[in-house]
């Protein structure tokens, strides 16, 4: 049969003729003539058939067309500024507002800006750049200034058991008799200032350390580019799954509406004696199961929205919704071999491992250089001043050492020095060599990680490629299945209402239609997901965190 406009006159005639002439059901009155239909019965049947047409058209509109299914237009969100990193949401901000529709391009743009994981990668790149700048500073001399000031106080006692002997006459002020004693208190204040210069003329570890920092920076930038690829895939998959959840909700809602209509038809036909009570009970059970599946689909939709909100790091009160129609991505433009070759070329995931290995080997050379001599140039110049005050000078037993004590003494001075220093570690019990061997082993381990990652990339490409081809083939088959299931459902529905088929046939046909709708939806989403998985391995991304990130989702050779 064709569309509903073609089958409606025939079905109406069959139903009215059979219902008015004789009964085909198994209930009371089966096989007995039924009363003539009144005008109200005719109008009720007419409304029922119009409702049937609306339900079938609703099912048809749930199918994504070749160029996508229409959806609500995506409006720019009001505010996507995330919470500060160390803040917790308040109770008032957890009240969710109405969902705001986002396109896939908007989703990628917001995710590239708000993602905490990506922001952590940016901070890591900035840290490694600072480390490189720190290592480059070792090629320059180090100039430092110093200044010091202080005060101290001391008490001093003098005792000379032999005196000054015959060196001085007793009348000389420097004469000290045997056993002479003396004491005094001293308070001293001093200040010193100067400049110090040190320059490593010969340091074999300096260049390997700088090269290791440069390789570490390159590894961090490549890891950032790979994180962009990973985030693109995660956001795309999450968005496609949200589209799938939205579409499943629409399908389940249409099924529930259709189940309610069929249930009402079953009740009417039972009253007319055309169907048994078993058909009504079965339809009630099917309608309850449809409501349960609708509730589950609504829960999956809410979870998919919150998962996307978490990835986008949105404010707590903002709930995203998929605003784009379900559009089918094109067939992947490369064959499997070309895809594999392109995935290995300039792959940031592999290049980051190479840069990490280079950094480890350079660190090994820097550690090993610790066993080589170092030559440094040093120079210093400074000035100092001090003041000393002596008081409470006392003598006993003829006196000692007090005649030449100045009560206040100021001292000024300056000094400078320049020279070369050589240092050479001769023995450390193998500590340095052990550290160098450990770094060499880590470099060998990274080489093995490179081999494993190379194999993982091939496996991911092959899985995505075969899945993409299979999903396209499944989609073609699912489209044919949906068309056939729709026609079969129309026929089964009309035959059931005319009393020519059982409710079990109608239920099986409806279940087949729902399965066909879901299979076509799954195939469409899988085509897009596998396309995004292939993009994850080949889509070029910037290594500079300050560069703009493209939000395109198509790749051309």
pLDDT in tens, 72-90: 444 556 677 777 788 787 7
For the chain, the domains span 60-131+209-361+432-538, 141-202+374-423
Query: Which pLDDT score, from 0 to 100, does residue 23 have?
Result: 32
3-state helix, strand, coil in the chain (%, to 5): 55, 15, 25
Q: For 26-30, 184-188, 443-447, which range has the lowest pLDDT when averaged over its residues?
A: 26-30
Structure tokens at 140: 């320059």
Mean confidence (pLDDT) of the chain? 83
Beta-strand (E) ranges in 265-373?
A: 320-322
What SS3 state is found at 36? coil
In contact, 223 and 363? CB cutoff 8 Å: no
pLDDT band of 207, cuts 50, 70, 90: very high
Structure tokens at 355: 């840069």
The whole-angstrom separation of Cα 35 and Cα 39 is 13
What backbone torsions phi and psi does residue 158 show, to the nearest 5 degrees?
A: -120, 140
What backbone torsions phi and psi does residue 317 show, to the nearest 5 degrees?
A: -85, -5
User: Residue 2 pLDDT > 60, yes or no?
Assistant: no
> Which is more confidently placed, 392 or 227?
227
> Which is more confidently placed, 84 or 153?
153
CA dihedral over 261, 267, 270, 272, signed as positive or negative: negative
> Which is more confidently placed, 62 or 428?
428
Instruction: Report which secondary-structure segment, H or E, holds 221.
Output: helix 206-271
The whole-angstrom separation of Cα 54 and Cα 218 is 61
User: Residue 69 pLDDT > 70, yes or no?
Assistant: no
pLDDT band of 395, cuts 50, 70, 90: confident
Tens of pLDDT, residue by residue over 313-370, are 988 888 899 999 888 888 899 999 999 999 999 999 999 999 999 999 999 999 999 9
Q: What is the pTM of this model?
A: 0.78
Tens of pLDDT, residue by residue over 502-531, are 778 888 888 898 899 999 999 999 999 999
In contact, 104 and 323? CB cutoff 8 Å: no
For residue 288, how many other CB atoms are within 10 A of its CB? 12
User: Residue 476 pLDDT > 60, yes or no?
Assistant: yes
pLDDT band of 3, cuts 50, 70, 90: very low
User: Residue 31 pLDDT > 60, yes or no?
Assistant: no
Beta-strand (E) ranges in 19-171?
A: 100-102, 142-160
Query: Which pLDDT score, from 0 to 100, does residue 53 have?
Result: 62
171: which residues sit within 8 A by CB, 6+ positions away? none
Q: Which fold has domain 60-131+209-361+432-538?
A: Outer membrane efflux proteins (OEP) (1.20.1600)
Query: Which pLDDT score, from 0 to 100, does residue 77 have?
Result: 61
| CA-closest candidate to residue 236, choices 484, 527, 556 | 527
In contact, 348 and 231? CB cutoff 8 Å: no
pLDDT band of 71, cuts 50, 70, 90: very low
Query: Which pLDDT score, from 0 to 100, does residue 63 have?
Result: 57
User: Residue 36 pLDDT > 50, yes or no?
Assistant: no
In contact, 393 and 184? CB cutoff 8 Å: yes
Tens of pLDDT, residue by residue over 125-139, are 999 999 999 999 999
User: Residue 15 pLDDT > 60, yes or no?
Assistant: no
The whole-angstrom separation of Cα 492 and Cα 494 is 6
Structure tokens at 5: 């406009």
Query: Which pLDDT score, from 0 to 100, does residue 240 have?
Result: 96
The whole-angstrom separation of Cα 12 and Cα 4 is 11
Calculate what percentage of the chain has a pLDDT beyond 70: 85
User: Residue 486 pLDDT > 60, yes or no?
Assistant: yes
Burial class (CB in 10 A: 0-12, 13-18, 19+), 472: buried
Q: For 149-153, 396-400, 473-477, which range has the lowest pLDDT when averaged over its residues?
A: 396-400
For residue 486, how many other CB atoms are within 10 A of its CB? 18
């Amino acid at each position: 049969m064709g569309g509903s406009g073609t089958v409606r006159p025939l079905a109406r005639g069959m139903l009215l003729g059979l219902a008015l002439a004789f009964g085909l059901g198994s209930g009371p009155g089966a096989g007995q003539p039924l009363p003539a239909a009144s005008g109200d019965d005719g109008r009720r049947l007419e409304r029922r058939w119009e409702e049937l047409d609306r339900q079938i058209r609703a099912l048809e509109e749930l199918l994504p067309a070749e160029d996508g299914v229409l959806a609500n237009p995506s409006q720019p969100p009001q505010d996507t500024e995330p919470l500060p990193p160390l803040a917790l949401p308040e109770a008032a901000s957890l009240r969710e507002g109405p969902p705001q529709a986002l396109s896939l391009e908007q989703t990628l743009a917001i995710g590239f800006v708000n993602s905490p994981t990506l922001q952590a990668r940016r901070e890591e790149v900035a840290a490694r750049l600072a480390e490189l700048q720190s290592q480059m500073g070792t090629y320059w001399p180090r100039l430092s200034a110093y200044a010091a000031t202080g005060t101290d106080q001391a008490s001093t006692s003098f005792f000379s058991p032999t005196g000054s002997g015959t060196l001085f006459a007793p009348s000389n002020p420097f004469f000290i008799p045997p056993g002479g004693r003396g004491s005094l208190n001293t308070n001293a204040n001093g200040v010193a200032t100067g400049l110090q210069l040190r320059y490593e003329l010969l340091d074999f570890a300096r260049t390997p350390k700088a090269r290791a920092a440069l390789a570490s920076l390159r590894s961090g930038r490549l890891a950032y580019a790979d994180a962009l690829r990973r985030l693109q895939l995660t956001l795309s998959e999450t968005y496609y799954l949200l589209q799938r959840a939205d579409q499943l909700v629409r399908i389940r809602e249409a099924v529930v509406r259709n189940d309610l209509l069929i249930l009402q038809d079953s009740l009417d036909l039972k009253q007319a004696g055309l169907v048994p009570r078993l058909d009504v009970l079965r339809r009630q059970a099917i309608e309850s199961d449809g409501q349960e599946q609708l509730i589950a689909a609504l829960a999956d939709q809410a979870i998919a929205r919150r998962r996307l909100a978490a990835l986008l790091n949105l404010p707590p009160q903002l709930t995203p919704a998929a605003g784009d129609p379900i559009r089918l991505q094109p067939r992947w433009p490369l064959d499997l071999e070309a895809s594999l070759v392109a995935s290995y070329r300039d792959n940031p995931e592999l290049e980051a491992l190479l840069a990490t290995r280079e950094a480890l080997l350079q660190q090994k050379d820097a550690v090993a250089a610790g066993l080589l001599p170092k030559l440094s140039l040093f120079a210093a110049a400074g000035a100092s001043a001090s003041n000393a005050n002596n008081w409470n000078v006392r003598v006993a037993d003829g006196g000692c050492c007090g005649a030449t004590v100045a009560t206040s003494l100021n001292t000024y001075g300056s000094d400078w020095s320049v020279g070369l220093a050589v240092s050479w570690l001769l023995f450390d019990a193998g500590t340095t060599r052990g550290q160098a061997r450990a770094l060499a082993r880590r470099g060998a381990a990274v080489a093995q990680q490179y081999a494993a990652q190379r194999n993982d990339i091939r496996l991911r490409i092959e899985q995505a490629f075969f899945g993409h081809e299979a999903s396209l083939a499944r989609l073609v088959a699912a489209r044919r299945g949906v068309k056939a299931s729709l026609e079969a459902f129309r026929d089964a529905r009309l035959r059931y209402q005319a009393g020519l088929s059982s409710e079990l046939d109608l239920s099986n046909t409806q279940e087949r239609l729902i399965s066909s709708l879901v299979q076509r939806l799954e195939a469409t989403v899988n085509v897009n997901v596998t396309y995004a998985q292939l993009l994850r391995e080949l889509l070029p991304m910037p290594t500079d965190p300050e560069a703009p990130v493209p939000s395109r989702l198509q790749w051309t050779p």
